[in-house]
Amino acid sequence: MLDMLDIEGLYPLYSRVEQYLEEFPEERSTLQIDGPYNEAFYEKLLDLSTEDDGTVAFALTKVQQYRIAMTAKDCSIMIALSPCLQDECSEQRPVVLTSKSRFTFSVSVLDLDLKPYESIPHQYKLDGKIVNYYLKNVQAKDDPVMSNLFKENEDCTLVLHKV
């Protein structure tokens, strides 16, 4: 629900916040860009309005909502199932019953660190590279008019780093 804008729609709002911070760098902590991520921070995220009133507050709310949405999209959900006999199953752990078996299970959610504010320009550039790659290599192959429009020679490379 919080991801109402894609990165192309969000980036101008991010730029509005950045411009404001260039003029008033002391406001960074007041705007809670780097935290604290407390109840007051999350209360501001409840504003789901879509009409841009041109304010920094609107832009910041959408940027923070995007960060939360990207965090949720990137998290991992781990489910562990362990078979157990009826007399072995602990009453303290939840049990899944099937027609032939019983399983205890646990669920964990990992990687819930809020996506960094500073990663938005990188996401914007990466998205542009992906679109250009697609247009050049997939769509443009079949359309001679399109193939002449996209001459930019920029590779799209996904780099994985050890964590």
Q: Which two tokens stand for residue 62?
A: 């959408």
* Over residues 133-156, mean pLDDT: 62
When the pLDDT of each residue in the chain is averaged and rounded to a whole number, the result is: 85
**Stated pTM of the model:** 0.73
Reply yes or no on whether the pLDDT at 15 is more than 90. Answer: yes
- The tens digit of pLDDT for each residue in 145-160 reads 555 554 555 555 666 6
Reply yes or no on whether the pLDDT at 63 is more than 90. Answer: yes
Residue 58 CB partners (closer than 8 Å, separation 6+): 13, 49, 52
Helical H runs in 39-159?
A: 39-44, 56-74, 120-134, 140-142, 144-149
Mean pLDDT is lowest, of 36-40, 111-115, 128-132, 140-144, for: 140-144
Taking the CA atoms of 139, 122, 157 and 70 in sequence, report the sign of the dihedral they define.
negative
Mean pLDDT is lowest, of 11-20, 105-114, 122-131, 151-160, for: 151-160
